[in-house]
Structure 1
Amino acid sequence: MTKRTSAKYKIDRRMGENIWGRPKSPVNRREYGPGQHGQRRKTKLSDFGTQLRAKQKLKGYYGDLTEKQFRRIYADAAKTRGDTGEALVGFLERRLDAVVYRAKFVPTIFAARQFVNHCHVLVNGQRVNIPSYRVKEGDVIEVKSASKQLALVLEAAASAERDVPEYLEVDHSKMTATFVRTPALSDIPYPVQMEPNLVVEFYAKN
């Protein structure tokens, strides 16, 4: 099982933003960072700092990916024709744990990673337990039969906290999702502004 390196709310507070749009985020109560000096950390960021913050926010959103994982995804995006920033978020959205989260089979991206790791998910009828598995257009993702009545799954599917994006076709009565197409940045329902172009600039200079 992948170790969670930071609590999700700690990431919110470090970023100063409610990056998943959750009602329980501590940022809804106070926007400053953690620690006794948190309220003083409002200094203007340099270009490097702005780019680094954009990278940290995007990494954090997808479950606080390791730098090695994130850099590998960026390298794949950089080899792709077209806009590298668009390709980057497209690859991130094709991760199996991201698809499970978007389909509302679980409440958080962290739960999605654990859910996949614990063998609750099938892709085209085959069990896949690798959260970073990259789905393809037309792939059918399904919660396995024995897991469809788990309270976690039923509560997530019924939640009105977020909607399923248009690039997925989801049937919650069968707990299946079809990955219709790779989304563009404008298609992805980020609760806060993500700036993959700044991430590209960060890696181009570092």
Structure 2
Amino acid sequence: MSKRSSAKYKLDRRMGENVFGRPKSPVNRREYGPGQHGQRRKSKISDFGIQLRAKQKLKGYYGDVTEKQFKQTFQTASRMKGDASQNLIGLLERRLDMIVYRAKFAPTIWAARQLVSHGHIFVNGVKCNIASRRVDVGSEITLGKKAQEMALVMEAQSLAERDIPDYVVADGTAKVTFSRVPTLDEVPYPVKMEPNLVVEFYSR
């Protein structure tokens, strides 16, 4: 597994929400934060704090992409026509590792990233090992033959807690087509995401 696997619920504890919608998340049992001061009465959060929290939650959901990568994605979104917050979500959902995760080829975003980096994913028939690659609409994403027999992949495909969204069209169990860039309302987030606050955070 990827290096983050041992701390995959850390974000949930910090946010007090089941960010990934996993049934074993510790916040299903206790909603207070981690550490010895986790149960202290929470003080009022400033506007900056609310914006920072929204940014950390969204960035964390996508597998803790680096701050540099995340900011570059925002800058690209802000230069595009239309709503910057919708553009940001669209760009994040176009990442190859996220489409692999949405296709249920992997149980977590970190496992999806590992599948890509180990060369198990093909885009339009060509092997691609760059997790952050932006996938074009109409592209076909295929799982390599060796990966189809992995226990990790079989586990992901049997997960009942999430479905393949409409904008990722499945063709059997080993191939999907990225049919369109989704809007915020179409993305199956287990918790509420507020990309408008992320836009405000970077626009300060």
TM-score, structure 1 normalization: 0.95
- Give the whole-Å Cα distance in 1 for the aligned partners of 2:140 and 2:188: 21
- Match of residue 159 from structure 2: 159
Secondary structure of the corresponding residue to residue 39 of structure 2:
helix
SS in 2 for 1:59: helix
> Aligned partners of 1:123 and 1:5: how far apart in 2?
26
| Deviation, structure 1 residue 172 | 3.7
Counterparts in 2 of 1:16-165, with a 5 A limit?
A: 16-40=16-40, 42-165=42-165
Deviations 1:40-97 (A, max 9, x none): 1522211000000000000000001111010010011011000000000100000000
TM-score by length of 2: 0.96
- 1:186 maps to a residue whose letter is D
Q: What fraction of aligned residue pairs are identical, expressed as a percent?
A: 63
Alignment of 1:181 onto 2:180: yes
* Deviation of 1:149 (Å): 1.3
What CA distance in whole angstroms lies between the structure 2 residues aligned with 1:41 and 1:200? 29
Answer whether contact 1:62 1:98 (CA < 8 A) is retained.
yes
Over aligned residue pairs, what C-alpha RMSD do you find? 1.5
Instruction: State the aligned residue count.
Output: 204
Q: Displacement, 1:150?
A: 1.0
Measured in 2, the distance between the counterparts of 1:97 and 1:148 equals 16
User: Displacement of 1:6 after TM fit?
Assistant: 7.8
Is the deviation greater in 152-161 or in 27-36?
A: 152-161
Unpaired segments ≥5 residues, structure 1: none
Counterpart in the other structure of 2:8: 8
1:21-42: CA deviations, max 9, x gaps? 1001011111111100001152
Return the alpha-carbon distance in structure 2 between the equivalents of residues 121 and 127 of structure 1: 6
Deviations along 1:111-164, one digit per CA (max 9) or x if unpaired, are: 111111111100000000010000000000000112111111112112212000
How far, CA to CA, are the matches of 1:203 and 1:96 in structure 2? 24
Assess if the C-alpha contact under 8 Å between 1:6 and 1:64 holds in 2: no
Structure 2, gaps ≥5 residues long: none
Where do 4+ consecutive residues of structure 1 move more than 6 Å? none
Answer yes or no: is the 8 Å Cα contact 1:141–1:177 preserved in 2: yes
User: How far is 1:171 from its partner?
Assistant: 2.7
Corresponding residue for residue 198 of structure 1:
197
CA shift, 1:5, in A, is 9.4
What SS does the corresponding residue of 2:170 show, helix, strand or coil?
strand
2:138 and 2:91 map into 1 onto residues whose CA distance is 15
Which shifted more, 61-70 or 40-49?
A: 40-49
